[in-house]
Structure 1
Amino acid sequence: MPRFMGFVRMEENIGMPPKSLFEAMDVHIGERAADGRFLDGGGLYGTEDAINFVVREGEVTRVDGPYAEGKEVVGGWAIMEYADLDAAVADQREFAELHARHWPEVTVVATLRQISDGPDAPTE
């Protein structure tokens, strides 16, 4: 079955989500964990302690957070497994609707990407 990674992006430092969203997410994730769709996931701390390694022109530079230029950050992630793309898309929409219902004043981008099973080795 295909696996997917979901990301939640939002503006940083907007405060804690309401308790009702946490409760709805517990139910949502619990149901999916019980039937095997939700494989792993979690929230992420803010970028104040984030570390990036930037590769530019063959040089590696370490850049520590916070990042003033970043407006949206990834706040959470999940790895899920579905029978097909349609099921994954429908479930990601349901996940986004939880945020719309319980935290409507915040802009959230819920992104879904299929995980590649790609080639086992480079082609060259």
Structure 2
Amino acid sequence: MPRFMGFVKMEEGGGLPPQALFEAMDKYIGEQAGAGHFLDGGGLFGTEDAVNFVVKKGEVTRVDGPYAEAKEVVGGWALLQYDTLEEAIAGQQEFADLHATYWPECRMVATLRQISDEQPESSDA
């Protein structure tokens, strides 16, 4: 059964969502988990404590947050499982619709990406 990652990108520092959205999301996630679609997920804190490791030209550099240049950040994630891509798209649409309904002033992007289950070929020599 195909698995997917859902990401929510939004403006940093946009404030807390209204209680009505939390309640609608609790219900939605409960229904999705009960149907076997929502496997795990959650919200993320802001970038003030984020740590990035940048690899460039064979060198690794650590960069600690906050990141003044960050306008949009990943604010949440979900590990999802559906029978088809079409069902996954419909589920992500419903998720985005909840935000439009219960937090209309929010500016966000809900992204859905399928997880590659391909394993690299091993070279048993």
Equivalent residue, structure 2, for 1:114? 114
Q: Distance in 2 between matches of 1:82 and 1:101?
A: 24
Letter paired with 1:98: L
Letter paired with 2:13: N
Which structure 2 residues correspond to residues 31-46 of structure 1 after superposition, within 5 A? 31-46=31-46
SS of the residue corresponding to residue 95 of structure 2 reads helix
Equivalent residue, structure 2, for 1:7? 7
- Displacement of 1:69 in angstroms is 1.1
Equivalent residue, structure 2, for 1:87? 87
Q: Distance in 2 between matches of 1:96 and 1:89?
A: 11
Letter paired with 1:20: A
**CA offsets, 1:86-119, max 9 Å, x none?**
0000110000000000111111100000000022
- Displacement of 1:120 in angstroms is 3.4
Identity of aligned residues (%): 68
Q: What is the TM-score normalised by the length of structure 1?
A: 0.96
Unaligned runs of 5+ in 2: none
Equivalent residue, structure 2, for 1:62? 62
Q: What is the TM-score normalised by the length of structure 2?
A: 0.95
Q: Distance in 2 between matches of 1:122 and 1:19?
A: 50
Equivalent residue, structure 1, for 2:25? 25
Q: Distance in 2 between matches of 1:13 and 1:92?
A: 23
